[in-house]
Amino acid sequence: MADTMQNKRVLITGANSGIGYVAAEMLAGMGAEVVLACRRPEAALDACNQIRKAHPAAKLDTLTLDLSSLESVRKAAAIVREKWPELDVLVNNAGIASMKRKTSVDGFELTFATNHLGPFLFTQLILPTLKAPGGRIVNVASTAHHQGHMHFDDLNLKKGYRVFKAYSQSKLANILFTRELARRLEAKGITVNCLHPGAVKTNIWPGDHWYEKLASAAIKLFLITPEEGARTTAWLASSDAVADKTGDYFYRCRKAKISREAADDNIARRLWDLSVEWTGLPADVAETR
């Protein structure tokens, strides 16, 4: 694999398994220095050891980050600003799908907290480290957003919770965030894009009970491998073909269509303002037009 990422530093959330792990291995193989930001430090270290088996000279480091906790996000962001003051690429990859409604330590519905609010705050707090111009932000979304709706009257889904309802809402939020942030950063030359990796065989649908795990195992029989799913992530992080593309959604390394709601600028701004409020992000920190 060509050393197309020499002297580049990439931070990937949820990089200890699945798509995130494979993307980390791909980019390390291209010569990038990769920071694996994971909830469990031991899992991150294990992933580093596995990557070094394939790429002995890989430049790897780890960061403890629990995206469901705003306190953890703030602590991790502070470490990033001090330890890695210059990043070339941020990949917001980590995500969950909770079979039952749960709440985060901050009181938000867990899927929305982990898949949107955490990445929103983390991205904002480490923006000063992204190279400008030339920095890239890659958000892993999903085709599930086509079935998603922003339930502004009940974003925490206290009424009628269903796992796919929560997941599709959070993936829609990923695309709305991508488009709004892309507009706000365009003048700085930092690109922001998102992608659907495909229906990938990962641990995102683990389940808490035997029947949920059985259903998850059955679903995985029809899914693609993480290696296939990670290609678009690595491509958006490294390819010259998308160096000047921003605010777009990709599938299989090609621009793809988004839902009508995902393309609504008013909804994107409404979600942005609410996210600023819910994460406690100071107004002078949030990127503005």
Tens digit of each residue's pLDDT (9 = 90 or more) over 198-250 = 764 455 545 554 444 544 443 444 354 667 779 999 999 999 999 999 999 99
Share of the chain above pLDDT 70, in %: 88
Q: 80-119: per-residue pLDDT in tens?
A: 999 999 999 999 999 999 999 999 999 999 999 999 999 9
- What average pLDDT score do residues 48-77 get? 98
Q: Which tokens hold the place of 21?
A: 């792990």
Check residue 214 and give its pLDDT: 47
Whether the predicted pLDDT of 288 surpasses 90: no
Question: Which amino acid is located at 57 in the chain?
Answer: A
Q: Which tokens hold the place of 225?
A: 């491998």
What is the domain-level CATH number for residue 203? Answer: 3.40.50.720
Q: Is 121 part of a structural domain of the chain?
A: yes
Q: Is 245 part of a structural domain of the chain?
A: yes
Q: Which tokens hold the place of 38?
A: 């994971």
Which strands sit side by side in the sheet containing 136-140, from one edge to the other?
A: 59-64, 33-38, 9-13, 89-92, 136-140, 191-196, 249-251, 254-255
**H or E stretch covering 99:** none
Q: 157-200: per-residue pLDDT in tens?
A: 999 999 999 999 999 999 999 999 999 999 999 999 999 997 64
Q: 243-273: per-residue pLDDT in tens?
A: 999 999 999 999 999 999 999 999 999 999 9
Check residue 229 and give its pLDDT: 78
For the chain, the average pLDDT equals 91
Check residue 226 and give its pLDDT: 63
Query: Is 167 a known active-site residue?
Result: yes
Check residue 37 and give its pLDDT: 98
Cα–Cα dist 233/236, whole Å: 5
Q: Is 60 part of a structural domain of the chain?
A: yes
Check residue 285 and give its pLDDT: 75
Candidate list 167, 211, 249, 251, residue with the active-site label: 167
Q: Which tokens hold the place of 279?
A: 């994460």
- What average pLDDT score do residues 11-28 get? 96
Structurally, how many domains does the chain consist of? 1
Please give the residue range of the domain that contains residue 105.
Answer: 9-279
Q: Is 61 part of a structural domain of the chain?
A: yes
3-state DSSP assignment of residue 196 = strand
